Amino acid sequence: MGLVLYWRPGTASMAPHAALAEIGVDYRLELIERDEAQADEKYRALNPLGVVPTLVDSEQGLVLTESAAILLYLGDRYPEAQLAPADRADYYRWLVFLTNTAQTAMLRWFYPERYGSGDEVAAAAARDAGEAFDILDGALAGRTWLAADHRTGADLFLFMLTRWARRLEAPAWDRANLRAHFLATLALPGVRRMQEEQGLDLPDWAV
């Protein structure tokens, strides 16, 4: 099989997984548990941090880590799927903001003990994530998709982070535009497929 995605349910593998499903290309999912990903030398040769996702494209002899990089790569490799819009500026801006600002805040909130004394770090991370989600909610005012007039990889990434943020004291999807975006993205066939293949639950209002 040409394309293999190493994944775990609900993790940063969601957006690349949804992208593969949206493209409609054949892919194989390789589930790797957290402890195994950390301990297995063979996996760490693919992904030195032992995290998910990792994409292997054996036809191209390629091993790729970082969910945003995987979206960018798939956008170039399968241009007909329009994961990357023709006009790229906003796409680059939002995808980098999502991975560099919103995602890092969420990762600090998930793993605060890695950054110092847990509670303080988690509180600061929740504040930073909230600020990032406010910006994203504002950017979606009067529009359906984040970076173009059609869905792009940035929407798949934002969908993933909106779900990650469901347990913040102020969940991201309590913002009206982010909730509408979550529902619009959830209606995409590839996103539905990813949700089912990862066995992810949905809030009552989205079912």
For residue 202, the SS3 value is coil
Instruction: By CB under 6 A, tell whether 101 contacts ligand GSH.
Output: no
One-letter amino acid of 79: P
Instruction: By CB under 6 A, tell whether 34 contacts ligand GSH.
Output: yes
180 within 8 A of 174, measured Cβ to Cβ: no
**Among 58, 57, 59, residue whose Cα is nearest residue 69:** 57
Instruction: By CB under 6 A, tell whether 38 contacts ligand GSH.
Output: yes
CB of 191 to ligand GSH, least distance (A): 17
**Among 75, 55, 57, residue whose Cα is nearest residue 65:** 55
CB of 150 to ligand GSH, least distance (A): 23
CB of 11 to ligand GSH, least distance (A): 4
Instruction: By CB under 6 A, tell whether 52 contacts ligand GSH.
Output: yes
**Per-residue x/- mask for ligand GSH, residues 57 to 96, rule CB under 6 A?**
---------xx-----------------------------
Instruction: By CB under 6 A, tell whether 144 contacts ligand GSH.
Output: no
Residue number with CB closer to ligand GSH (6 or 133)? 6
Neighbours of 91 (CB within 10 A): 23
Instruction: By CB under 6 A, tell whether 185 contacts ligand GSH.
Output: no
Cis peptide before 53 (omega within 30 of 0): yes
19 within 8 A of 56, measured Cβ to Cβ: no
16 within 8 A of 154, measured Cβ to Cβ: no
Q: Which residues bind ligand GSH (CB under 6 A)?
A: 11-12, 34, 38, 51-53, 66-67, 107
